[in-house]
Amino acid sequence: MAPMRLLVGVKRVIDYAVKIRVKPDRTGVVTDGVKHSMNPFCEIAVEEAVRLKEKKHANEVVVVSCGPQQCQETIRTALAMGADRGIHVEVTGKDYETLGPLQVSKIMAALAKKEEADLILLGKQAIDGDWNQTGQMTAALLDWPQGTFASEVKVEDKNLTVTREVDGGLETISLKLPAVVTSDLRLNEPRYATLPNIMKAKKKKIDKISPKDLGVDISSKLQTLSVEDPPQRTAGVKVETAEQLVSKLKEIGRI
Partner 1 sequence: MFGLLSPAGRRIPAAICYLQRFQSTLVLAEHNNEKLTPITLNAITAAKQLGGDVCCLVAGTNCSKVVEEVSKVQGVKKILVAENDTFKGFLAEELTPLVLATHKQFKFTHICAGASAFGKNLIPRIAAKLDVAAISDITEIKAPDTFVRTIYAGNALCTVKSGDEVKVFSVRGTSFEAASVNGGDASSEKVSSPSGAGVSEWVGQSLTKSDRPELTSANIVISGGRGLKSGENFKLLYDLADKLHAAVGASRAAVDAGFVPNDLQVGQTGKIVAPELYIAVGISGAIQHLAGMKDSKTIVAINKDPEAPIFQVADYGLVADLFKAVPEMTALLEK
Q: Of residues 43-72, which lie at the interface with partner 1 (CB under 8 A)?
A: none
| 67: helix, strand or coil | strand
Applying CB under 8 A, the span of 76-84, 86-94, 161-169, 198-206 interacting with partner 1 comes to: 161-169
Is 144 among the residues that bind partner 1 (CB under 8 A)?
A: yes
| Binding-site size, partner 1 (CB under 8 A) | 81
Choosing from 131, 152, 193, 197, the residue that interacts with partner 1 (CB under 8 A) is 131
Contacts of 92 (CB under 8 A, 6+ apart): 67, 68, 69
Please give the distance of CA 157 from its chain centroid, rounded to a whole number.
27
Residue closer to partner 1 by CB (options 61, 109) is 109
Applying CB under 8 A, the span of 52-60, 196-204, 207-215, 217-225 interacting with partner 1 comes to: 217-225
Is 251 among the residues that bind partner 1 (CB under 8 A)?
A: no
Site map 111..130 versus partner 1, x via CB under 8 A: -------------xx-xxxx
Q: Do residues 184 and 165 make contact, with C-beta atoms less than 8 angstroms apart?
A: yes
What's the min distance (Å) between Cβ of 107 and partner 1?
13
CA distances from residue 89 to 10, 26, 64, 75, 104 in whole angstroms, order as listed? 11, 28, 7, 11, 10
Choosing from 56, 205, 212, 238, the residue that interacts with partner 1 (CB under 8 A) is 238
Is 209 among the residues that bind partner 1 (CB under 8 A)?
A: no
CA-wise closest residue to 142 among 173, 171, 107, 167: 107
Residue closer to partner 1 by CB (options 56, 226) is 226
User: What angle, rounded to 10 degrees, do the helices at 71-81 and 40-54 form?
Assistant: 30
Q: Which of residues 164-193 bind partner 1 (CB under 8 A)?
A: 164-176, 179, 184-186
Q: Do residues 209 and 89 make contact, with C-beta atoms less than 8 angstroms apart?
A: yes
